[in-house]
Amino acid sequence: MGGLDNRTKKSGRQAKITPKRTTLLQKLAYIARPFVLYMLVKTAAMLVLAIAVPSLPIAGMGAWVENHAHQLSAVVNGVASLIAVCFLLNDFLIETSTDGEIDIDKSVPGQFMDFMKTEFLGKVTAHRMTGLALCVLLGVAASLALNIWFKLLAEMLSGAGNPVLDSEKYETVEVIQYSVPIGLGLVLYGIISPAVEEMVFRGVIYSRVKKFYSAAKAVVFSALLFGVFHANLPQFLYGTAMGVLLALCYEYSGCFAAPVLMHMSANIFVFLMSQTAAWTAVLTTPVWGVVAAALSVAVFWAIRECNVKF
């Protein structure tokens, strides 16, 4: 090092130091890169699968695809999501590692398996299990409250001649999601979708924003991006609201299992309720909306006050 310093002094030049991610554009690029990569890979995978599956040399495949278009679309979306998130595994492991290090002697899949074994839940204690159970309950209560109030608001606006929350794209998404069999729906929307989306939006993006800005800004930014990801107004509003709660649960708990379990419980509850139209009609009332909102606030308070860093 001394020789290098001496040569630098003799030449009259100063050693060049390149600052890392100090400008706004550098920070935004660092934060947004995983999301852009995920979307590009997922879109490409969906296109390839959409072309490849109908082309399989199986008798009657064309007719089967036509008769099961919605179910196939849901499966293709889930598989493409899994493929895309694999490209973010290394970023995810770096951002969520509790000790700030990863075992570089192991492959990325090996590191991920170690994370699932040791860091996903962390040390299993009664205190932590109680906190995670509260996150599951919050997922159910918050999803119910938001669905009730958004549905009531949409009906009120439509009745007033302002159908701003009516969305053809959202209706198409609903048809696809709720046309799959219950077992397949639980796998796609109760396991794959929540796990992948939490890895992307809370595990990577939220954690990266926190490196440069406050936790509050990270919560808002990751939630807004999560809402935009759903690409229609009703799901943007719902996704943004849920995104705030998911990020706060992650922040308060310090445990990645918290937002994952909350997201899973919310998706499973909504999916199962969609299979029972009678119950949906009964629950979509202002009274149940108030009850669900009050329960959400109470559970969130318990997570915030009683289980910080559980």
Q: Give the domain ranges of the chain.
A: 122-310
Q: Helices 126-159 and 286-306: crossing angle, nearest 10°?
A: 150
Q: What is the largest CA-CA distance in the chain?
A: 84
For 308, residues 6+ apart whose C-beta sits below 8 A from its C-beta are: 252, 253
Tokens of 210: 């926190």
pLDDT given at position 283: 81
Q: Which two tokens stand for residue 293?
A: 């909102």
Structure tokens that stand for 37 in this block? 């990569």
Q: Residues for the chain: how many in total? A: 310
Both tokens of 6, joined, read 């001496």
pLDDT for res 309: 60
Alpha carbons within 13 A on the beta-carbon side of 20? 3
C-alpha span between 74 and 247 (Å, rounded): 26
The pLDDT, as a whole number, for residue 14 is 47
CA dist 301 → 25, 138, 143, 212, 295 (Å) = 37, 10, 17, 27, 10
- Closest by CA to 35, choosing from 170, 214, 173, 203, is 203
The first and second tokens of residue 172, run together, are: 């198409």
Query: Rounded distance, CA 216 to CA 238, Å?
Result: 19
pLDDT of residue 279: 72
CA distance linking residue 197 with residue 253, whole number of Å: 18
| Alpha carbon distance 26, 197 (integer Å) | 24
Rounded to the nearest 5 degrees, what angle is found at the Cα of 37, between the Cα atoms of 34 and 40?
150
Return phi, psi of residue 232, to 5°. Answer: -155, 155
Structure-block tokens of residue 232:
């229609």
State the DSSP string of 214-282.
-HHHHHHHHHHHHHHHT-SHHHHHHHHHHHHHHHHHHHHH--THHHHHHHHHHHHHHHHHHT-HHHHHH
Q: What is the C-alpha to C-alpha distance for residues 40 and 43, in angstroms, rounded to an integer? A: 5
CA dihedral 124→129→131→133, nearest 10 degrees, is: 150
- Taking the C-alpha atoms of residue 219 and residue 212, their distance in angstroms, rounded to an integer, is 13
At residue 99, the pLDDT reads: 55
* Spatial distance between the Cα atoms of 212 and 226, rounded to a whole number of angstroms: 19
pLDDT-flagged residues of the chain (< 50): 1, 3-18
